[in-house]
Each structure stands twice: as structure tokens, then as C-alpha cells.
Amino acid sequence: MSYLAVEDLSISFGGIRAVDDVSFAVDEGEVFAIIGPNGAGKTTLFNLVSGIYFPDGGRVRFAGRDITSLPAHRIAPLGLARTFQNIELFEHATVLQNLLIGRHVHRRSTALSHLLFLPAVRREELEHRRRVEDVIDLLELAHYREQTIANLPYGVRKVVEVGRALCLEPKLLLLDEPTSGLNPEESEDMGFWIEDINRDLGVTVVMVAHDMGLVSRVAGRVLALNEGRVIAEGSPVEVQKDPAVVDAYLGAD
């Protein structure tokens, strides 16, 4: 029984089959990469898995549970967190607040007790803060803690988004192009963090990536998509050599 199992997943937008009968399985504890040229359906696939879109056909199972028809806010508490390709942070809040929002699934008190800010709420807030500080330490965000997202450079925002996802204490992390728009140094740091998150925190990682250097370094297995269909699956080296993948990127003859 695999940890995340995607079975015959399909979705169409108008006449376009954005994701067409895609199946794959991710085992607990691995780093799994999804590659493919622009418009291959990678991000759409993520949106289907995380409950933002609902598929026309097929199923998604996570940790033995069918999550196909669950909305995003019901999937997150099961231990599935994600980031977005174009960064979707809370722009007018500070880094600290963004990370604290990531703790939402771990709240125990009700809105009524928040109104009164009972001692139990304060204890819970302190607990959230301690967990958030752990993430801040891991991703070296201490310098930016009190800054508003709108004032941060792009590279830092990318890291904050990963941090917010980590604050959910997920079991499975979906990273949508974690290194897009980063300079080589930042990309390398991101690679190390992905390894740390996978090894030290025991989080299963599924990532969409364009950067083959990163993929070969951190990913155990790779799935290649083109025009919504799976064209290859295997180790990074195998997939890179696969003629269908070469065709998809460079065009046939």
C-alpha cells in the first residue's frame, strides 16, 4: 500500500485534457519529482491532489484514505501541505504571522474562547510560537521574522512559503517548483533544506521541478509528464535518457 496513490486521474478544461489518465504511487519517506515541459499538467496535478480542483475521473488516496472529493481545507489537517509556483503568501502580514497561520490545523480552542483570550488560549499561542520558532531556526528566517512579506525579496518569500507548509507539521509536502526564480546559491540552499526536511523531519516530499540538477540530487524517483500524460517513470538517470522525455523537451527529429 503506497502512501500517496494517484489512480487514472483526469481533468479537462474546455476541450483540453489538462491531466489525462495519470497514475503514480509515492512511498512513505521518499522524495518524488514530477518533471515535464511547460503546460504538461504538473501544477494542475498538484491542484487535483491538494483538493483545489476536483477531477473528472480517477482517484487520489493518501495514507489509506480516499481524498478525491475532499476540499483543500479538509485535506490539510490530514497531513498534506503544499506550496505554490507563483508564491501565495499573506502579503500584508509579517513572516511570523504567516508561519503562525500555518499552525491553523493545530488549533484546539474555539472562536468564543479567543474573544476572551482565556489562559488556555495563551498557552496554546505559546505552544504555536515555539513550534514556529523551530521552523524559523531550521530555515534561517530569524532575520526576517518581523518583516512584512510585501517588503521581502523573492528568494526569501520562496523560503517562507516552505516554512509555512512545514508549520502544518505535514507528513507529505507538495512543493511546486521550489527553486524557480532563485539564484544558484539559493537553489542549492533549497536543495539542502529539501534533503533535511525529508531525512530529519521524516516528511515525504513530492515536487514539481524544472531544475534537473536539483532533481538528480534530491529525488529518488522521477515522473515525466507531457500534454497531461505520463511519458516516463524511474530513477533520475533513467528518465533523463528516456527517448520520450528527450522528444518532449527537444522535439522529435
- Residue 142 interacting with another protein (CB under 8 A): no
* Residue closer to another protein, measured from CB, 19 or 239: 19
Q: Which three cell numbers stand for residue 145?
A: 521574522
**Phi, psi values for residue 132, rounded to 5°:** -65, -40
Which residues are 9's β-sheet partners? 22
Choose the binding region for another protein from 62-70, 91-99, 136-144, 213-221 (rule: CB under 8 A): 91-99
What is the nearest approach in angstroms of another protein to the Cβ of residue 100? 6
- Residue 54 interacting with another protein (CB under 8 A): no
* Residue closer to another protein, measured from CB, 54 or 192: 54
Helices (H), 148-250: 154-167, 184-199, 212-218, 236-241, 243-250
Q: Which of 1, 38, 115, 185 binds another protein (CB under 8 A)?
A: 115
Q: Which three cell numbers stand for residue 198?
A: 525529508
165 CB contacts (<8 Å, ≥6 apart)?
81, 82, 83, 102, 173, 175
What's CA 87's distance to the chain center, in Å? 11
Choose the binding region for another protein from 27-35, 148-156, 187-195, 215-223 (rule: CB under 8 A): 148-156
Q: Which of 25, 63, 93, 212 binds another protein (CB under 8 A)?
A: 93
Encode 175-201: b = buried (16+ Cβ within 10 Å), e = exposed.
bbbbbbebeeebbebbbebbeebbeeb
Q: Which of 21, 25, 52, 216 binds another protein (CB under 8 A)?
A: 52
* Residue closer to another protein, measured from CB, 48 or 232: 48
Residue 151 DSSP symbol? G
- Residue 72 interacting with another protein (CB under 8 A): yes
**Angle, in degrees to the nearest 10, between helices 154-167 and 119-138:** 130
- Residue 151 interacting with another protein (CB under 8 A): yes
Q: Which of 88, 137, 238, 247 binds another protein (CB under 8 A)?
A: 88
Binding site for another protein (CB under 8 A): 47, 50-52, 71-74, 76-77, 81-82, 84-93, 96-97, 100-105, 107, 109, 111, 114-117, 121-122, 125-126, 128-130, 150-151, 154, 157, 164, 168
